[in-house]
Structure 1
Amino acid sequence: MRVVILLFCFCSVLLLGCKKKSTPKSPEAALLVFPDKDSECTTGRDLNDTTSEVEFKWMASDHTESYELRVTNLNSNITQTTITKSTSAKLPIAKGEPFSWLVRSKNTNVNETATSSTWNFYNAGSITTYVPFPAQLVNPQNGASLFKDINNEITLEWTAADLDDDIIGFDIYFSTENPPEILEASLASTKREETVSVGSNNTYYWKVVTKDAEGNSSDSGVFAFKVL
């Protein structure tokens, strides 16, 4: 009997030793909470006449050790970053300026990261009229490779927002040259897509300029895609 027990213990040790370690899981994307998307942030703590400290908040994401907050001034294109293990972080940012922000979830056990959606907002200041937020290019995504349809066409899609709610139209620039300088179409404010003609084995560049009733405009930046 003693021999049987010893043999059983020996086999158990072998099985435990051979058990495969679980593979670390990649972090998941965080859900943004505040500042709200396409809003004016009025809760910043005044630091001086030109700057206030804003607290950014998001939901905890699974399999995440730390978060990288990235806040970009849409006028200067300057990005501030900070890393935290919390689900909030504070940054000093300029008053009366438009910003975008996102959060990257990280885990030291894996190389992959997960990126949240990107939200735009204005930090409150003394301005009385707001430039439209840059249009967000939705489709085709930047760097995409795709096939044209049966009519040799592809549909460009975007979203747009303005705190004043006075967008009057969009200028669509589309070309095989970067940056695109050919005005493909000028569209009414109700439009959020435009169909363009394309050819196979070409790379195309496009952007959207959003215009409002006060004479303000914003540039989406350039996206590129390849037609197979």
Structure 2
Amino acid sequence: MIKTIALVFFMTFLFSCSGGSDSPAPEENKAPEKVETLTYPTNNLLCIDNTLDFQWGASSDPNGDAITYTLEIATKSDFSDVESHTSTTTTKTVTLEKGKAYHWRVQAKDSKDLSSEYSSVYQFYTEGIGVVNHLPFSPELIAPENDSNTSDASIDLKWDASDVDDDALTYDVYFDTVNPPVSMMGDNQSEKEINVSLTVTTTYYWKVVVNDGNGGEAIGPVWSFETN
């Protein structure tokens, strides 16, 4: 009888210690969804004021966590001079300098510090006092991807650029093995691409200067890639 009681006690103890095996696994925390819509200022907009109500679409979180948004504004397309603002709603009022070109994007973050991918990037211009001609927007990289690798003997450098005044744009392309690049490969060209020959196991640097024909100039960031 004593042995029977001891055995029942042991089985009860064993079951209580291992009872957690039936408990559901903790839910994996996932990052919020990417902000898909930038509402205002719209892309390539010439704003009539320099105090702007930035607006974007809401993100959602798979775990139902609270979301905050980081609004990033920069004058450079690579956001190396970024100015950040936090908001718990999908709008933020910011006062900027007059007569300047800006880029903006939004990132969502949940209460556990997981962040979404960045939204797409929009660019706009704040109207200056008595401004007749506006500078072009900084050029945007199309190809090759920055800091990428290639085995090709030649490659097409591609970019994009725009201007709120709809001026006809031309481009000076600098391509070199030193940073910053000083050798000009394209001079005052209208095409948004240029083919360059490559050497193996070399790091190349390049940038584009955008001219609007009215004295306006935008110098792009330095991009780079390597050959195998």
* Structure 1 and Structure 2 fold alike (TM over 0.5): yes
2:141 match: 137
**1:220: Cα distance to partner?**
1.1
Larger radius of gyration: 2
**1:208: Cα distance to partner?**
0.6
2:28 match: 23
1:215 match: 215
User: Distance between the aligned counterparts of 2:136 and 2:29, measured in 1?
Assistant: 43
- Output aligned runs, 1:79-98, within 5 Å: 79-98=82-101
Detail structure 1 runs of 4+ shifted over 4 Å in the superposition: 13-16
**1:16: Cα distance to partner?**
4.4
TM-score normalised according to structure 1 size: 0.81
1:198 match: 198
Deviates more, 1:86-95 or 1:27-36: 27-36
**1:183: Cα distance to partner?**
0.2
TM-score normalised according to structure 2 size: 0.81
For the 8 Å contact 1:24–1:110, the answer to whether it is kept is no
1:181 match: 182
- Output aligned runs, 1:110-129, within 5 Å: 111-126=114-129, 127-129=131-133
Residue ranges of structure 2 left out of the alignment (5+ in a row): 1-15
Higher strand share: 1
1:34 aligns with 2:35: no
RMSD: 2.5
Residue ranges of structure 1 left out of the alignment (5+ in a row): 1-9, 45-51
**1:168: Cα distance to partner?**
3.4
1:72 aligns with 2:70: no
Count of aligned pairs between the two proteins: 206
CA deviation profile, 1:107-142 (whole Å, cap 9, x unmatched):
243544421222211012221111111110121122
CA deviation profile, 1:178-207 (whole Å, cap 9, x unmatched):
000100112533x12111111221111111
User: Distance between the aligned counterparts of 2:181 and 2:194, measured in 1?
Assistant: 15
User: Distance between the aligned counterparts of 1:156 and 1:38, measured in 2?
Assistant: 23
For the 8 Å contact 1:68–1:84, the answer to whether it is kept is yes
Code of the residue aligned with 1:87 in structure 2: it is T
For the 8 Å contact 1:106–1:114, the answer to whether it is kept is no
Classify the secondary structure of the residue corresponding to 1:114. coil
Classify the secondary structure of the residue corresponding to 1:115. coil
**1:146: Cα distance to partner?**
2.8
